């Protein structure tokens, strides 16, 4: 297992030259794989329905338990929090919810575009057990270490680790709907540090990359389930101001 890089940190430190350079590359380099994914915005073959709303305390993630020194939870990030749901209904699915989640847990690369992202199981058995670790590899300075926070028959949830561009959690879940199936990706994320905040919240570049990555993941997961997606992908984004949480709730309540 790779040891944590102390030069990659969170809100408790000021980024050094190496980190600034690493993230500044995002402004000057558009990897070939990402360019291919951006093509979906020009000629999408699956409809994407986008809704944006103002969020509140109900948009905070599940409480983080068994916290480790390498965890990078939502409250360790910078800027506003984004609670997003990427939802697709799979009509005539050939796989059930449990089977689809098992297939994704064993190999998440089955639902990503080659050259855009790759999941490396750096400290994992492939069974997506709690505590195991993965790294999301992307062209350029986009890599993001995560660990498994929970694993259920029809869902698993990952948390970001130190050095990730984001701070927060992400959940992959499915449920059976008669002969159909619904697949949902839920993210709770803030920028991982002050530099990422510029790219993520102010310029919107990292936010758009996340959007495109998970929309494509939904489309490919639906294909893996063996069904059709006539209704397209529905994306709900709820933005929560930070550190002031509406209705008087504080970040410590996460």
Q: Which residues contact 18 (CB under 8 A, 6 or more apart)?
A: 7
Question: What is the rounded average pLDDT for all residues in the chain?
Answer: 78
CB 100 within 8 A of CB 116: no
Element (DSSP H or E) covering residue 120: strand 118-123
pLDDT digits (tens, 9 = 90+) for 119-158: 888 876 778 999 999 988 876 555 789 999 999 999 999 9
Instruction: Give helix 205-225 / helix 17-28 axis angle, nearest 10°.
Output: 70
Q: Kind of pairing, strands 118-123 and 166-177?
A: unpaired
What are the extents of the domains in the chain? 18-60+69-253
pTM for this one?
0.80
* 229 vs 92: CA distance, rounded Å: 9
pLDDT digits (tens, 9 = 90+) for 24-41: 444 444 444 555 555 555
Q: Which fold would CATH assign to domain 18-60+69-253? A: Alpha-D-Glucose-1,6-Bisphosphate; Chain A, domain 4 (3.30.530)
């Amino acid at each position: 297992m790779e040891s944590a890089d102390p030069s990659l940190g969170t809100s408790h430190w000021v980024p050094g030259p190496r980190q600034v350079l690493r993230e500044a590359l995002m402004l000057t380099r558009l990897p070939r794989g990402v360019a291919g994914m951006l093509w979906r915005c020009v000629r999408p073959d699956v409809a994407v329905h986008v809704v944006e709303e103002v969020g509140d305390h109900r948009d905070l993630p599940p409480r983080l338990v068994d916290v480790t020194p390498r965890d990078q939870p939502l409250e360790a990030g910078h800027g506003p929090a984004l609670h997003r749901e990427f939802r697709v209904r799979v009509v005539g699915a050939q796989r059930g919810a449990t089977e689809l989640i098992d297939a994704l847990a064993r190999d998440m690369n089955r639902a990503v575009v080659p050259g855009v992202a790759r999941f490396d199981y750096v400290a994992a058995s492939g069974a997506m057990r709690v505590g195991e670790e993965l790294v999301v590899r992307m062209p350029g300075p986009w890599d993001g270490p995560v660990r498994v926070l929970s694993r259920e028959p029809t869902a698993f949830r990952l948390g970001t680790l130190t050095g990730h561009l984001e701070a927060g959690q992400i959940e992959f879940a499915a449920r059976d709907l008669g002969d159909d199936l619904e697949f949902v990706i839920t993210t709770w994320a803030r920028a991982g540090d002050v530099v990422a905040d510029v790219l993520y919240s102010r310029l919107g570049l990292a936010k758009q990359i996340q959007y495109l990555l998970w929309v494509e993941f939904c489309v490919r997961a639906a294909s893996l389930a063996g069904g059709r997606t006539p209704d397209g992908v529905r994306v709900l984004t709820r933005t929560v101001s930070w550190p002031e949480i509406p209705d008087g709730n504080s970040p410590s309540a996460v």
